[in-house]
Structure 1
């Protein structure tokens, strides 16, 4: 790599890189990258290296000899090769990497191979290890490609199943709403019918009991009036006035009959209101009626849960 010592002579003093499209100044002969020196001469009329006055017009810039151009190309190539070689050196021992540790799956130099941390490890020369690894990777890539296709098919099938499940769920949701709406309508209708029946029974019972109460109140009023008249007459000591007061406005009914008990003629009517079987087992009998209006659905294997008890 001794030739790298001469790379300074092939380096542009402006950008400090190897010449790129090198040109020379007419008087002093110093060489620069065309772009670098053009930019400098746009603001100054002196050579960037020796301060020699030079024309600012680009037409005075001369192309270097073919030898310089060839050397510039070779130097650039050598620099790239040198950098690549530097990259292949062991970062710990600065020795060339010649082996591949299969145990640790890393490149190693001679010193690394003999070091204690790699004791008992399996090593291969880099080229041989690369061939082996290439074969493994080629087979692995084929297997992965096949596996990727299989997973893609599975993922596609899974997406379709998700879509199908959502569609079935939407269909069942509509179906559930329709079925419950039908049950709601039936239940509401039966509720109104049973309530109407209850109201009618209440009307009949109250009407009968009200008639009995009216008769009781009439008898009570008549008895109180007779009692009051009798008490008033009993306060009179004059026989003529006593008889005259009692018979005035009184019917020809014998007095004894007016004091006969009238309470024994009446009986308190108890409530006769009843809904029959609906009174004690309303839910059971309405449920039985509900069964008659429920139409079983085709068995699609999807209706289950607390509402249905088990999978149908």
Structure 2
């Protein structure tokens, strides 16, 4: 005796019962469906709302057995339907090698498959399994290859980051060396300029003091002469020799110290007399000669001279090794000019340019 399908359906999930339980009100539910309802708070029947005191309702074994029988019957019917031809309802016994699908004997005689080669299902299953196994092996090999490429790509990504950091550090180091050379040359030349400035200023201070002393002495002599001119004639005559001797002594000292200036003044006065165009008064060339900063000495071809000095600190190597092609056992120096062999290979990526068969490197 078979029960109608609605009697085998859970009121909550509306599907065939799975592990059905029976409540005191005679209603049955899937155990999981009832648990979800009771988890909301109230322990009552989802259909009649009758309260129940049992926390773990009893299994409905009779209903469970009936439901399992129905489900098994459904599965068998589904399998049988799959084994029958959808068009003719006959059992599938052949496999069309052209269309790659199972057919019945009626399909083989039909116009659709009449000219096609067919084989029994048992043979077709073996052939298809072999082909699928071959395809599976090919796909598995391709997957393994892709995994290796993926791993190498990850290693290369990390290596590129390390390469960039190391190269950046070396670039900064070399520029720091050049900066040190420039800073040193700058400090040397500024010190030379400062020294010349101090020497020229000290010279001008000494000259200024000497001139001030001479001006003071001449001013005193002039004041004495002015005073003598104001005295009585007899006093003037009595003091004349001493005043004249003082004047001659001062002039002798001044002329000895400025003989070249006196000659320049005489020559200039002669030019003024005979050359109306010459109206300038000469400076004291002995005092003023070479007092200015020798700007030319400090700035003459400064950049070129610094560049020549920097050549002493720069090394040129005609051969530079390529680290991207070096064998893993070859360790290159930071400046890429030398190498040494190591028994422990380095962790370098397997890029196409790298030597692997022999310990070589390109340059």
Alignment TM-score, normalising by the size of structure 1:
0.50
Alignment TM-score, normalising by the size of structure 2:
0.44
